[in-house]
Amino acid sequence: MRVVYILIKEKEKQLSPNYIEGSYLIEDLELCKKVTDNFPYFDLVIDEEMIVDVILTVPPEKISTKEEINQQVVAKIREVYSVDDEFQMQRLGLQDSNNAEYQGYLQYVNDCIIWGVQEKVNYGYV
């Protein structure tokens, strides 16, 4: 059995104001996992200074890493252009940089890149 202690502080805005500052014991492995996976988005059911249940209060939002955002940008491009399509667009651009099809490709790729940069800004990576 894994035992975990969590410290509840009055300043923690995500937790119910009914908690008294102090430590609470979690003995149940499943409850431990719920707390660690969803911190700080949970509410506790406490009985005799022991946590008997953990209730999620706000669904946790997955935080993407820089690498995941980069992969999402590539995936957005791949929704429209395969690797072979991109090579073809590059050849068109080398032949005529004003080609309408090439310009559309560039615009779409730039829009995807801008989306990725904005995601990185939202997560504080930039």
Q: What is the pLDDT along the chain (126 residues), one digit of tens a residue?
A: 344 444 444 333 334 444 444 555 566 677 667 766 666 566 666 666 666 666 666 555 666 889 999 999 999 999 999 999 999 999 999 999 999 999 999 999 999 999 999 988 887 888
Residues 78, 103, single domain; the answer is yes
Could you give the CA distance from residue 108 to residue 97 in angstroms, rounded to a whole number?
A: 15
Count of the separate structural domains present in the chain: 2
Residues 46, 83, single domain; the answer is no
Are 44 and 16 spatial neighbours (Cβ–Cβ below 8 Å)?
yes
Residues 83, 112, single domain; the answer is yes
Residues 35, 12, single domain; the answer is yes
Residues 39, 83, single domain; the answer is no
Q: Could you tell me if residue 61 is inside a domain?
A: no
Q: Could you tell me if residue 34 is inside a domain?
A: yes
> Domain range spanning residue 82?
66-122
